[in-house]
Amino acid sequence: MSSVPRPERPAGRFRRMLGRLSSSQEDLESEELREDADTAGCIRIGDCQDRQIVTVTGTLRTVTLRPRAGVPALEAELFDGSAALDVVWLGRRSIVGIEPGRRLIASGRISMSRGRRVLFNPKYELRPLGRE
């Protein structure tokens, strides 16, 4: 018997369908978000480094009002299927359209705070609701 490794073959249509049927709903949504980031030309959050200027896209999981140093701050968790990122707007109590489940594109400089990636006061663009 030869121990020559087999070359990787691309998965066929049946194998992809079987993989999708055996995947959880969360896995399928994560894969869709990763593909959306790639098609939008954005960097995946999981690939972002500290102090890097980035453009990322994803879905807002949570939106909370949490004061920072006595100043109101609107915080949201953005998830793109690879990792999560905290988006913080300082001095804001609310922003129309920023709500859980909403997709957006955000641009700014990544910083690390307590081991999490954070974008402070990013430029952002709300994505249309529903399917494009």
What tens digit of pLDDT does each residue of 81-117 get? 889 999 999 999 999 999 999 999 999 999 998 899 9
Tokens 């910083």 label which residue? 111
- DSSP-derived letter for residue 15 is H
Tokens 């922003």 label which residue? 95
Q: Say how far apart CA 30 and CA 26 lie, in whole Å.
A: 6
Q: Are 52 and 109 in contact (CB under 8 A)?
A: yes
Which residues of the chain, if any, have pLDDT below 70? 1-11, 14-23, 28, 130-132
